[in-house]
Chain A
Amino acid sequence: GQQVMQIPQYQHVQEGEDFTTYCNSSTTLSNIQWYKQRPGGHPVFLIQLVKSGEVKKQKRLTFQFGEAKKNSSLHITATQTTDVGTYFCAANAGNNRKLIWGLGTSLAVNP
């Protein structure tokens, strides 16, 4: 079935370093969403990207949607310990309202 591949699976950084997670699909996506899940918590919506080549920023977070709408990235500048958690991408493809989720990237930040 349709899949969204997300890499890396884990990332350890020193506080202040940058962090990027990537999502890739073999099929064209209608849109892509990003969620953050803190340890022991539930996913919390961060952003939705719809347009080809779209770039959105939220403070230190930058989200991109590829020109072909098959890939996306989340970049965090100057990580802080509050950024710790697992970041998931999730996408709609075709006329299907079922979100396809990546496996997530777990971010650990050393103070």
Chain B
Amino acid sequence: GAGVSQSPRYKVAKRGQDVALRCDPISGHVSLFWYQQALGQGPEFLTYFQNEAQLDKSGLPSDRFFAERPEGSVSTLKIQRTQQEDSAVYLCASSLAMGGSFTGELFFGEGSRLTVL
């Protein structure tokens, strides 16, 4: 597709349920990032992939959060045993940049809004 696609756009989960959020980046974009954005806050880094390799997962808040990108394109962010504090918008972004210290222009998806009851 022309842009970054995320699904579902909205997800309501009961506390303790597992959720999976999908990101389909722009074709050919090597780098993929996941961010968490709470209401009224800036995006908080979760994890970063270059192709299928997860190069940085330092932002994942706990071991309940897991991300993968097995074939270097689509990525899935999984949250196990969801808690109320996990409620946020989860943003996926991709970029052409590879290597070096520059992230490059990030193209964001519309986000997945997770509400945990």
Contact = CB atoms under 8 A, between A and B. Distances in A.
Interface of A: 30-31, 33, 35, 41-45, 48, 50, 88, 90, 92, 94-99, 101-104
Interface of B: 31, 33, 41-45, 48, 55-56, 58-59, 91, 93, 97, 100-103, 105-111
B56 A97 contact: yes
Contacts, number: 63
B109 A42 contact: yes
A95 B42 contact: no
A33 B62 CA distance: 28
Q: Which 5 A-B pairs have the closest CB atoms?
A: A101-B42, A42-B108, A95-B101, A45-B105, A99-B103
Query: Main SS of the interface on chain A?
Result: loop
Contacts of A95: 101
Query: Main SS of the interface on chain B?
Result: loop
Contact of A101 (B44, B100, B102): B44
Contacts of B44: 101
Nearest to B99: A97
B17 to A, nearest CB: 25
A33 B97 CA distance: 14
Contacts of A44: 108
A99 B106 contact: yes
Contact of A94 (B93, B101, B109): B101
Contacts of B102: 30-31, 50, 92, 97
A45 B106 contact: yes
B105 A96 contact: no
A102 B103 contact: no
Contacts of A45: 105-107
A41 B43 CA distance: 13
A98 B108 contact: no
27 contacts: A33-B103, A35-B106, A41-B110, A42-B108, A42-B109, A42-B110, A42-B111, A43-B91, A43-B106, A45-B105, A45-B106, A48-B105, A94-B101, A95-B101, A97-B55, A97-B56, A97-B97, A97-B102, A98-B59, A98-B103, A99-B33, A99-B106, A101-B42, A101-B45, A102-B42, A103-B41, A103-B42
